[in-house]
Structure 1
Amino acid sequence: MVLEAITTKKCQETFHLESLETLGDSFLKYAASQQLFKSYENSHEGLLSIKKEKIISNAALCKLGCDHELPGFIRTEPFDPKRWIIPGDSCQSYVLNEELLSNENKIYIIGSKKVKSKTVADVVEALIGAFLSTGGESAGLLFLNWIGIEVDFEYMPNERPFQVHAEKLVNVRHLESLLNYKFRDPSLLVEALTHGSYMLPEIPRCYQRLEFLGDAVLDYLITMHLYNKYPGLSPGFLTDMRSASVNNDCYAQASVKHELHKHILHASHDLHKQIITTVESFEKLSSGSTFGWESESSFPKVLGDIMESLGGAILVDSGFNKEVVFQSIRPLLEPLVTPETMKFHPAKELNEYCQKEHFEMKKPVVSRINGLHSVTIEVEAYGAVFKNTATASDKKTAKKVACKEVLKSLKEKQGR
């Protein structure tokens, strides 16, 4: 498992670190998020995000990896028998330099190599995944603390600043039935559904802190579910399945599907119009799934956020019981993605298709007019130009739709 964690794609082996990196990344994100949530009870989501980034960024992980002499162990090129040094062999004419690895251990070096900072960070995440996969969360935490990230999963009662009659603000009984979970502190349900535009004296904060926590725990739970349920996936496929399952569009579609949008506490006329438009668009979607990239319209961020904030609320209320969160939120996200139903993001699929067929893909042309984003995707193939311009309220959606149309045209041309 450790060998897999230190092996990069460039080694051209049948295994490499990407699946373990995805697993380790989700665990690290959750471990750091829950630690910050517990440690800074009065800090808003923006400050928590900044603090988290300082812990989990590639730069931070690279520094920790270098501090522990990890780069020398990373495999970045294919195995060459001619350059292999036989352990213990003293017949060869090479010089080994001695270096102290720790207070007691020494390593012997024959040369040096360059390793990208992101590669070091990826290996740190992959090693977290390796320890987690083989020894469970306790082993994952031990590695995190060894590498220099001090976190724990000790439960700390959360001081609540809320004194509200939850039943007067939200339909507690209906929501508990939908979530299959009974809240000990219903004020968490109120906080999880309160938009920033709806601030009353008795509701001192909105859903963003719980969303910060819920985002991390749902990411981790779904990644662990996919990793354990589908062992033996080709490296990288877990990453694609996670991307198709853990994103704002998936959560937003699930929110609309189960009519959670009707329970959001907000006082924004624009948001109200956006939600109505989204619901009408969702009803036209033929697909019953809540994963993947089927939607051609963008969703108000709040719709995805409340799925995460509800996950965060259940986590806090249950004493940080992750299994309870998964049992509650998973039915809302069903059907979850499987290897058979997995669909790649159109931008990634188009890029890989062009590389495989040696088509020339131009750089996307992006513009913004009257608050709308337009993205033009152009590919030269079969002696012709395949081009599409899509417009949406956000750049990502516009690019997704344009890529989808160009890809469709290319495949139709190939099928003729």
Structure 2
Amino acid sequence: MSDLKSECQEINNWFIKNTFQYEIPHCFTASYKNDKAYLSILSTNIGLVTSRPILQNYRPIKIYHIDGPQPEYTEVLFKSVNQEIVFDYVSISRVFDYNVRLQMSWYMLSPKNIKAHTINFHNFINGGYRNYLIVPIINDQIDYEFMQEFIKQREGLVNGLCLKDLNLDDQGIADQLFYIPKTQQVNCIYAIISQPWKQTVDEYFNLIIQNSKFTLEQLKEYYCIDETILKKTIGYFFYEHQFKAKTENINPILQLRSYQNQFNQRDSALAIFKQVTTIQRVQFYSEDQINSLENKSQNLKIHTCKPKLELNSLSTHIMPISNLYRYPFTVNQYDNFLMLPTFLLELEQQFIISEFANSIGIEPNLRVQRAISRASYNRDINYELLETLGDSILKYLATVSVSLGPQNTNENILSDQRSQIVNNNFIGKHLFKYQYFGLFHYVRSLGHQTKWFSPVLQNIHSNHIQPEPIKQVSATMLVTFLADIFESLIATVFLDKDSLYDVYKFLLHLRHPVSYYPATDKYYPRKPIVQQYQFPIMHNYMSFKDLINPVRQLSEAEKQYFQKNQLEYLNYLQTEVIEYQFHNKYILYESFRVQGSNMDLDLPLELYYKFLLNSNTPSTRGHQMLELIGDAVLECYIMCNCFNQIIFKFTPTNLYKIKMVLLSNSFLSKIAICYNIMHNFQDTAILQFIETVKLDEKFTYYNGNFVRVPKVLSDTFEALVGAIFMDGGWQPVCKFLKKVYLKFIPFVCTYLNDIDDHVIDRVHQYSASKQGHMDIKSFKQENGQFCYEIRIDGQIVGRFTHEHERVAKEKACESACKKLKI
């Protein structure tokens, strides 16, 4: 084990340096020690050799470049995948040598002292853990002969076909690349002066004018020549004329004369050429990267190895054609190579995401990619949205787990127990403790989008590596971050099939405490809990009254009758409001019992309700336990259904706002009075609320009416949802909540951005936008009332006094909003 750990550490340190030495690294030879490798062929007729079979990518790989107002892309596909090949040490040495020479060509590295060269492999595959080797293909097989010839050419042992032996009138020469044997420099040919002692300087200048912004007068001034020189031959101009211009203006001509003195090639045809663009300058983008670019048309980017012939600085080179030899690859083939870094980055990410998705038992998709991407990697596509949804799902699962536990206790203790297993500290340490799925090796965290956290170790039997001490991890990955990733994974598993049962299995595999009890379809349904909502024609000026799904309103006589006959009232609720008949009526009774004992019998919750039914004994407890369950069920339902219904690009802040709108005490209290759900029709606080509530007000206006909302109404509604859930599970809950939220969810998902923020948030936002200092001061007056003052930069902008502290604070902020006109 110690040898394996030291070997892994050595290789990991080597990769972190992002460098390749010419000598073959151990990680390459070790990968192929079983004489087996796998060949995959791309649609660009490039072969990839890998040390193990590669997974199928889950979406097409598009390589983007900017060439105008809209990005263009090339789609690269797999022509064939994972052909098994025999790969002995001699073969891998040749393939590796070929890759080193090929990359040296890409980066324009000099062949001198080749072993001393460091090749920036990080720029080639942009990080990762798989060993990709590039090979040439002939008839869907590796072309070893071509590799051998290429290596010899790059070593200077043999040369390619000389340019002077080719047909100079062939238009295809412009699509070929040529190199200079002495320097191994690869170049593009733009023009050939076939008869330099017969063609005139005027013809040469016309060629420059066609490919530059120079005029004839500017060229004459540039070279310090007069009109008579234009009639001279190009040969005289290049070899014999005595220039008065600056040295930098005639450098290409001076270099040509140096070649002439060295090789005596005055009569040879001349080629005008430029060095090909290096791989560092070529701009290709993956789909994620192009989506995150702020300005896609700001500047046109180079996307080919062949630069444009722009002679603004006359920086082209001139050389006798006898010194140029054909490079084995054409411009088009070389351009395919230049796409490889971006292609391999996207391919590698898809493979890693596919492996990770398979390890947690779901199909690889963009959601999995989002779940393991930090905001520092991609500010638009990251785990933050999923984390918000996963938090609500985990809260529900934890609530069910502690509520159905072996000990029947009060809701405060259960709430504390739930907090202990869902807080970030517990989740992060639990996830780290077991190193599940090698999570640290999958998370995408760096902002420049080119490297994975802890590269390479996945390929070196990472399952056998001992976990790092928690202190070391805390320096690079905070526990809270691990908890966020965990919650985003819960949301990803859920959204795969909209099934809570799949989430349960996922957490069971993780050995999380919420999965300690056997799953039943009642609480962990295999069927989706996400329902399809139709989006009716709506306007943002609709009121709460317009959006409520109406039920028959009770007359005063009926209210008085139900006040005296609770059994009849509960029957009315079951038939007309809930539209569900309870199997255990005592659960329904308990949901309307506001006050009672915390615990009367020490039995698990399900067994307790069975005892009540069999003994025909009503509960003496209050509805707080059912309220706890109903609150978690409501939040889970709203978040899961709204997440898939929002029709605009939304953020975690939007999801939080949905909870504030659809789960607030004010909203649920209005729902309760509209559906006649209340424990006491003659309660003074409830009657006062009914009189003061404004149901005709625009729903987009902040729905807190700045009156003291009787919390008992929202608590009773949550307890009723909890009672339905404990009696029948998710099916009747979904039916009832769809009736309640029939128009609210579509409206909020459509007009969420039009709904006002809380007045306190608005004042904070105004203060931040003006870079002012906001201060909220409160004090209790002698009459016992609370007074709140809102100050910005020391100036009072809002003030209000009320007997209830929360109302005073909100009213003061409302007053500030009116004064500041926000």
Tell me, yes or no, whether TM beats 0.5.
yes
1:350 aligns with 2:763: yes
Post-superposition shift, 1:15? 2.3
1:279 aligns with 2:690: yes
Residues 209 and 379 of structure 1: CA distance in aligned 2, closer, same or farther (over 3 Å): same
1:112-160 Cα deviation digits (max 9, x unpaired): 8444443332222112111211243233223322332342532689xxx
Post-superposition shift, 1:30? 0.8
Aligned to 1:190: 589
Paired residues for 1:304-383 under 5 Å: 304-318=714-728, 320=729, 322-333=730-741, 335-336=744-745, 337-341=748-752, 342-362=755-775, 364-368=776-780, 373-380=786-793
Aligned to 1:149: 513
Q: What is the distance in 1 between the residues matched to 2:744 and 2:522?
A: 34
Q: What is the distance in 2 between the residues matched to 1:76 and 1:395?
A: 44
Q: What is the distance in 2 between the residues matched to 1:179 and 1:13?
A: 43
Query: Quick one: percent identity of the two aligned structures?
Result: 23
Post-superposition shift, 1:68? 4.3
1:225 aligns with 2:635: no
Aligned to 1:181: 580
Counterpart residue type for residue 410 of structure 1 = L
1:236-262 Cα deviation digits (max 9, x unpaired): 22222222212222211211233322x
Aligned to 1:160: none
Q: What is the distance in 1 between the residues matched to 2:423 and 2:784?
A: 31
Task: Assess if the C-alpha contact under 8 Å between 2:626 and 2:719 holds in 1.
Answer: yes
1:149-193 Cα deviation digits (max 9, x unpaired): 342532689xxxxxxxx9654512211111222222222221111
Task: Assess if the C-alpha contact under 8 Å between 1:198 and 1:265 holds in 2.
Answer: no
Counterpart residue type for residue 429 of structure 2 = K
1:137 aligns with 2:500: yes
Structure with the bigger percentage of helix: 1
Aligned to 1:91: none
Residues 125 and 156 of structure 1: CA distance in aligned 2, closer, same or farther (over 3 Å): closer
Task: Assess if the C-alpha contact under 8 Å between 1:10 and 1:78 holds in 2.
Answer: yes
Residues 80 and 156 of structure 1: CA distance in aligned 2, closer, same or farther (over 3 Å): closer
Task: Assess if the C-alpha contact under 8 Å between 1:98 and 1:106 holds in 2.
Answer: no
Aligned to 1:45: 411
Task: Assess if the C-alpha contact under 8 Å between 1:59 and 1:121 holds in 2.
Answer: yes
Q: What is the distance in 2 between the residues matched to 1:371 and 1:77?
A: 55
Q: What is the distance in 2 between the residues matched to 1:288 and 1:407?
A: 18
Of 252, 256, 269, 2:673 maps to 256
Of 24, 31, 34, 2:400 maps to 34
Partner SS state of residue 797, structure 2: strand
Larger CA deviation: 119-128 vs 216-225: 119-128
Aligned to 1:410: 820
Q: What is the distance in 1 between the residues matched to 2:810 and 2:440?
A: 37
1:199-228 Cα deviation digits (max 9, x unpaired): 999431111111111111111011111011
The runs of 5 or more residues in structure 1 that have no matched partner are 89-95, 158-165, 267-271
Residues 84 and 42 of structure 1: CA distance in aligned 2, closer, same or farther (over 3 Å): closer
Partner SS state of residue 821, structure 2: helix
Aligned to 2:480: 118
Task: Assess if the C-alpha contact under 8 Å between 2:384 and 2:488 holds in 1.
Answer: yes
Partner SS state of residue 260, structure 1: coil
Larger CA deviation: 349-358 vs 52-61: 349-358
Aligned to 1:171: 569
Residues 144 and 301 of structure 1: CA distance in aligned 2, closer, same or farther (over 3 Å): same
Q: What is the distance in 2 between the residues matched to 1:273 and 1:76?
A: 56
Counterpart residue type for residue 388 of structure 1 = G
Counterpart residue type for residue 508 of structure 2 = N
Q: What is the distance in 2 between the residues matched to 1:400 and 1:259?
A: 28
The runs of 5 or more residues in structure 2 that have no matched partner are 1-366, 524-563, 601-616
Q: CA RMSD in A?
A: 3.8
Of 659, 674, 677, 1:242 maps to 659
Aligned to 2:97: none
Larger radius of gyration: 2
Aligned to 1:387: 797
Partner SS state of residue 749, structure 2: coil
Q: What is the distance in 1 between the residues matched to 2:820 and 2:477?
A: 38
Q: What is the distance in 1 between the residues matched to 2:386 and 2:453?
A: 28
Residues 184 and 292 of structure 1: CA distance in aligned 2, closer, same or farther (over 3 Å): farther
Q: Give the paired residue count.
A: 381
Task: Assess if the C-alpha contact under 8 Å between 1:350 and 1:407 holds in 2.
Answer: yes
Task: Assess if the C-alpha contact under 8 Å between 1:194 and 1:264 holds in 2.
Answer: no
Post-superposition shift, 1:277? 2.5
Q: What is the distance in 2 between the residues matched to 1:72 and 1:153?
A: 31
Q: What is the distance in 2 between the residues matched to 1:326 and 1:291?
A: 28
Q: What is the distance in 2 between the residues matched to 1:25 and 1:234?
A: 17
Post-superposition shift, 1:61? 1.9
Post-superposition shift, 1:52? 0.8
Q: What is the distance in 1 between the residues matched to 2:787 and 2:593?
A: 32
1:20 aligns with 2:390: no
Larger CA deviation: 211-220 vs 395-404: 395-404
Q: What is the distance in 1 between the residues matched to 2:784 and 2:440?
A: 46
Of 448, 451, 468, 1:79 maps to 448
1:27-77 Cα deviation digits (max 9, x unpaired): 111111112222246322112111111111222222223324556755555
Task: Assess if the C-alpha contact under 8 Å between 2:589 and 2:618 holds in 1.
Answer: no
Post-superposition shift, 1:312? 0.8
Partner SS state of residue 644, structure 2: helix
Post-superposition shift, 1:327? 1.9
1:256-290 Cα deviation digits (max 9, x unpaired): 233322x3499xxxxx33223222221x4542759
Residues 379 and 317 of structure 1: CA distance in aligned 2, closer, same or farther (over 3 Å): same
Larger CA deviation: 219-228 vs 331-340: 331-340
Task: Assess if the C-alpha contact under 8 Å between 1:390 and 1:399 holds in 2.
Answer: yes
Residues 125 and 170 of structure 1: CA distance in aligned 2, closer, same or farther (over 3 Å): farther
Counterpart residue type for residue 779 of structure 2 = S
Task: Assess if the C-alpha contact under 8 Å between 1:100 and 1:106 holds in 2.
Answer: no
Counterpart residue type for residue 274 of structure 1 = A
Residues 173 and 144 of structure 1: CA distance in aligned 2, closer, same or farther (over 3 Å): same
Aligned to 2:705: 295
Residues 99 and 186 of structure 1: CA distance in aligned 2, closer, same or farther (over 3 Å): same
Partner SS state of residue 24, structure 1: helix
Post-superposition shift, 1:84? 7.7
Partner SS state of residue 779, structure 2: strand
